[in-house]
Amino acid sequence: MSAKAAKGAVTAQSPVTALPGFGPKRAKLLEKLGIKKVGDFISYFPRDYEDRTSIHSLSRAPQESKACYRLMVASDPTLARLQRGMELVKARAFDDTGSIELVFFNRPYTKNQLKKGTEYIFYGKVEGYPRRPSLVNPLFEEVGNEGSVTGRILPVYPLSSGISSGMVEQGVRAALEVCSIPASPLPPQLERDLGLMDAEESYHQIHFPDSLEKAAEARRRFAFEELYVFCCASVGLKWEAKTRISRVLDHYDPRSFYDELPFRPTNAQKRAISEAFADMCSINRMNRLVQGDVGSGKTLVAAACAWLCFKNHRQAVIMAPTELLARQHQKTLSGMLAPFGIKVGLLVSAMPVAEKKAALMSAASGEFNVICGTHALIQNVVEFTDPALFVVDEQHRFGVAQRSALAKKQPDSHMLVMSATPIPRTLSLIIFGDLDLSVIDQMPNGRLPIETYSIGEDKRQRMESFLLKQVQAGGQAYIVCPLIEEGESGRESAEEYVEKLRRALPTLRIGLMHGRLAAKAKDEVMTQFAAGQLDVLVSTTVIEVGIDVPNANLMIIEDSESFGLSQLHQLRGRVGRGSRQSYCILMRKGKRIPRLDVICNTSDGFKVAEEDLRLRGPGDFFGQRQHGLPAFQLADLSSDLTMFEQARRAAEETFRRDPDLSLPENAVLSEKVKAMLTDEGGIKLN
């Protein structure tokens, strides 16, 4: 009788307590790792491996890593009891190239385990080389009995408190013994075309590889599988959006809209508006991303689409990530749309109760033709009057689930997503793969390039003199201080910075803005700055988006080395919006930092973004606030971009052949895609 048959009562769906040695206490600890069922062990992959197959000589001992050594014990081990209850076992050992001291702290039992004249395989890191080399607390096995801790490639698993890698390995071995290997979502022909290791071998080789090369092959297979399933989910959303019916809007010539503007739109803006109008006036629901550099004029596209909704007697709703940006949109859109009699309302969480109640009534009754707000818009109490359009600004600060919750307010509505963060093409496909793309690649006429410089602390006095000169010439300045996390030391707060600046430049009118200020206080300081009542606004990165003060022509960023390139570019985009020559000064603590040269040498946000992605990888591309990236277990998008392109092409081919994944061969894939398109998978189907 096979082991699997003998333990037939245990399945992949059984709780981990069904395995020998895994009681309730261990089960509770394993829940922290997401391991609740027996089958979870099989898909819990190692993060690394320790190669304990290669034997090193003492003369060639690696200095920075652990390794295996075949040594003979040369002396009887001695046990000494030191103060504070510490016990110390020592012995000498040697090979053909030298000798070394074996040291074991608080392991008195090793005195009886090690025998003089016997050879062992020791695994550990050589310390004190070359004067007094020693192996401290090495693992060991007698030669001829290898296989438990040496003589193999050991998986190293991600862990949490109370859980050892050995405990996880024990569970994996038991699970592989009693469970069937999970069915593969990859089409067999695709596996063959790409030369991927098959699923059964991959599960064994990723946990207990015959060689590091085999482990790499298995990891490549599962990394591709992750990317392929994600791409199928993304492509599936796009296919579904293409077939979703919406009420067709009557088309109106946008020139009637342009004629009322105080400026001439760029050709890129007109192209994006034309593409959006074509979507909204067709039977298929619009799902479009408008992407452009800071200051390129994406808000005009939203305004034109809102105007088209108004002409069709329907509402438009615009969701922004911050209250500051929501208020900015209300102000900007009101200016553009007021000539048409369009009323733009506001709905944010921080409103006084009476004001909020009035706003809810105006949105529900249709008094507001356009409603600007934050995530407060997706709350159940919020009702609209037959909206035709939802606009999500700075999408990467939300998540697909929040966009989905907004869309559910009116399922046949159109969706326009805007991003002022230039995103490399591949990363854009990952985050926005279900959207059609419009790119605004022109800046409004009359914009002067922002001169950008990176300087050290030795130039601070010159920077302050330059700041004073710009203000005296009628300009205004932003100064950005990094956000100080709780418990972080060694960096002054924005409040401390303001006091120091006031002492250095007492003639300047200086305001302070940060995320902890009440909404009313934020509004007050921004109103003062926009009205020219403040010369300098010191702020954290809360001003990264949404602030539009054309008279501000100087951006100073303190500790610039602590920001990503894309974030620096975003901050720089707060100036350069008026007729004055604008400047951006990147203050740094140390010597020249080569990556900052990218910001100094180019104003092209897409070039900046490509370099930022190369340097930091996708996980940190947007900083801690990024929610749009999927959490992959093995795929690393900073190094697997070619694999992602392969997965994307394969997913598109799959949907061309089987648009609803109904063929029997795609049954497993269909289940995995459905799991990903739920709250559990982190993505929500619209």
**pLDDT at residue 506 in the model:** 94
Domains identified in the chain, total number: 5
CATH code, 164: 1.10.150
Q: Are 468 and 579 found together in one domain? A: yes
What confidence tier does 98 reach under pLDDT thresholds 50, 70, 90? very high
Q: Are 456 and 563 found together in one domain? A: yes
Q: Are 596 and 509 found together in one domain? A: yes
CATH code, 519: 3.40.50.300
For the record, the structure tokens of 283 come out as 């039977």
Q: Is residue 226 part of a domain?
A: yes
Q: Are 10 and 45 found together in one domain? A: yes
- pLDDT per residue as tens digits for the range 368-411: 999 999 888 988 899 999 999 999 987 555 555 566 677 778 88
Q: Are 1 and 77 found together in one domain? A: no
Q: Is residue 463 part of a domain?
A: yes
Average pLDDT over residues 259-283: 94
pTM of the complete model beyond 0.75: no
Q: Are 478 and 590 found together in one domain? A: yes
What is the pLDDT of the chain when averaged over all its residues? 86
**pLDDT at residue 103 in the model:** 95
Cα–Cα dist 426/610, whole Å: 10
Q: Is residue 665 part of a domain?
A: no
Q: Is residue 426 part of a domain?
A: yes
Q: Are 331 and 401 found together in one domain? A: yes
pLDDT surpassing 80 at residue 186: yes
CB 495, CB 575: distance < 8 Å? no
**Alpha-carbon distances of 80 from 94, 108, 111, 563, rounded to whole Å:** 22, 9, 10, 53
Cα Rg of the chain, angstroms: 31
Could you tell me whether strands 78-81 and 87-95 are parallel, antiparallel, or unpaired per DSSP bridges? antiparallel
- pLDDT per residue as tens digits for the range 5-53: 344 578 889 999 999 999 999 999 999 999 999 999 999 999 999 989 9
Cα–Cα dist 140/119, whole Å: 10
What confidence tier does 312 reach under pLDDT thresholds 50, 70, 90? very high
The one-letter amino acid code at 670 reads S
What confidence tier does 343 reach under pLDDT thresholds 50, 70, 90? very high
**Final residue of a domain: which of 602, 619, 636?**
602
Q: Are 459 and 339 found together in one domain? A: no
Question: Which is higher by pLDDT, 521 or 539?
Answer: 539
Q: What secondary structure does DSSP assign to 522-585, as a single string? A: HHHHHHHHHTTS-SEEEE-GGGSSS---TTEEEEEETTGGGS-HHHHHHHHTTS--SSS--EEE
Determine which helix (DSSP H) or strand (DSSP E) holds 280, and give its type and residue range: helix 267-280
Q: Are 429 and 527 found together in one domain? A: no
Q: Is residue 405 part of a domain?
A: yes
- pLDDT per residue as tens digits for the range 657-683: 998 899 999 999 999 988 876 643 443
**pLDDT at residue 491 in the model:** 56
Average pLDDT over residues 550-563: 93
**pLDDT at residue 630 in the model:** 60
**Final residue of a domain: which of 151, 169, 194?**
151
Cα–Cα dist 320/307, whole Å: 19
Q: Is residue 608 part of a domain?
A: no
Question: Which is higher by pLDDT, 581 or 609?
Answer: 581
Cα–Cα dist 397/544, whole Å: 12
What confidence tier does 626 reach under pLDDT thresholds 50, 70, 90? very low
Q: Is residue 198 part of a domain?
A: yes
**Final residue of a domain: which of 385, 420, 440?**
440
Q: Is residue 121 part of a domain?
A: yes
Cα–Cα dist 125/73, whole Å: 17
**pLDDT at residue 394 in the model:** 72
Average pLDDT over residues 288-313: 92
Q: Are 68 and 100 found together in one domain? A: yes
Q: By percentage, how much of the chain surpasses pLDDT 70? A: 89
Q: Are 218 and 162 found together in one domain? A: no
Q: Are 302 and 385 found together in one domain? A: yes
DSSP assigned state of 250: P
Q: Which of 247, 342, 341, 262 lies closest to 302 in space, CA to CA? A: 342
CB 658, CB 666: distance < 8 Å? yes
The whole domain housing 124 covers: 54-151
